[in-house]
Amino acid sequence: MDDMLNRPVILVVDDEPQNISILGEVLRTDYIVRAATSGQKALEMVMSSDKPPDLILLDVMMPGMDGYSVCGMLKADERFCGIPVIFVTAKSSEADEVKGFEYGAVDYVTKPFSPVVVRARVRTHIELKKYRDSREVDFLLSQIKPHFFYNVLNTIVSLCYTDSRKAGKLLTEFSNYLRRSFDVQGNQLFISLENEMQLVRSYVAIEQARFGERLKVTYHIDKNLLLYRIPPLVILPLVENAVIHGLMKREEGGHIVVTVRQKERKLIIEVADNGIGISADQLAELLSNKQESGGVGLRNVNRRLGKYYGEELSIVSEGQGTVASLRIPTSCLQVFKRV
């Protein structure tokens, strides 16, 4: 059962039930196969599913909405543009193939098709998708691991001589930080909001051990929203930026307020600080192609928000203080089910 649940999902879209049956027989041994008999039904299935398909086999010639239109709509949606689409059609001219690629397909299979060819092409594009996804996760992990570990360890060592109880508490928070960080492994492109917030709290506890009363943080979290699935490491970089660039450059430090709420069918996440603020030039640099050392970086957060939701990170800084916020339509979000 577990092996079955972990199999990639293939969506076969064709208005001919016989073609769906044949492709199902070809692929069912290695994949979970779902089917749609129209373009509109396919779009509804993709957009409402708890687990969108890993690959779509899409007939070109269908009544109502043809395959080109379906593929074009998927590729225009940042949430689903990464799903590989293979066109399956009786039309085999070079012009037809070029048109398919222009609409965003990754491959083209002509009818009548060879089962061996279909399996080989599906397997190739499933593996390529896994590789692309794993590279993104690897990038996130490579950024989060080293950037403040030495400072934490030095703080723990120092506390061992002056306050062993506090050192033990900090070790616990550091252990939780590491565990939550490494939970991103396994090609998890989405985690629960609850998991991300636990990572944020551990990070804050560690920094408060270092900076003491200079760093104050308040949380206003709607607990009903914690099971929403979000990309990992989109809130933590905002808090890190507020600490490093906003508060700790002032001798007196400052206060951060982290808010998670829902309003007008949007999940709203805000990180506000009363620090030194960010100039227009500094903000442009933070969102530029230049990667910040030791962190995921705001540009990476911004890019992933656009990729999955078509939204951008909002950063407002007028004189003193900065408010960074994410506004994600709840219609784009899925919910984790507790086991």
Whether omega for the bond prior to residue 112 falls within 30 degrees of 0, making it cis, is yes
For residues 10 and 33, the answer to whether their CB atoms sit within 8 Å is yes
Does residue 78 surpass a pLDDT of 70?
Answer: no
Architecture of domain 2-135: 3-Layer(aba) Sandwich (3.40)
Q: How confident is the model at residue 183, as a pLDDT?
A: 58
Asked whether this chain's domains 2-135 and 145-332 adopt the same fold, the reply is no
Nearest in space to 52 (alpha carbons), one of 12, 83, 15, 84: 83
pLDDT of 277 over the 90 cut: no
Q: Of 293 and 321, which is predicted with more confidence?
A: 321
Please give the pLDDT value at position 220.
97
Task: Return the sign of the alpha-carbon dihedral for residues 59, 106, 111, 57.
Answer: negative
The model's pLDDT over 200-256, given as tens digits with 9 standing for 90+, comes to: 998 898 889 888 899 999 999 999 999 998 888 889 889 988 998 888 888 898 999
Tokens representing residue 82 in the block: 């990464």
Size of the chain in residues: 339
Helix (H, G, I), strand (E, B) or coil at 177: helix
Question: Of 9-13, 32-36, 53-57, 277-281, which range is least confident?
Answer: 277-281
d(CA 126, CA 189): 16
Q: Are 42 and 65 in contact (CB under 8 A)?
A: no
Domain 145-332 listed as CATH 3.30.565.10: yes
| Helix, strand or coil, per DSSP, at residue 84 | coil
| pTM for this entry | 0.59
CB contact at 8 A, 230 and 263 = no
Query: What mean pLDDT comes out for the span 31-40?
Result: 93
Query: Pick from 30, 54, 14, 86: which is nearest to 22 by CA?
Result: 14
pLDDT band per the 50, 70, 90 thresholds, residue 339:
very low
What whole-number percentage of the chain has pLDDT above 90?
31
Sorted by where each begins, the domain ranges of the chain are 2-135, 145-332
Q: Phi-psi region for residue 113, left (φ > 0), alpha (ψ -120 to 50) or beta?
A: beta
Check if the beta carbon of residue 72 is closer than 8 Å to that of residue 104. yes
Helix (H) or strand (E) holding 285: helix 280-286
Instruction: State phi, psi for 26 to the nearest 5 degrees.
Output: -70, -35
Q: What is the pLDDT of residue 136?
A: 61
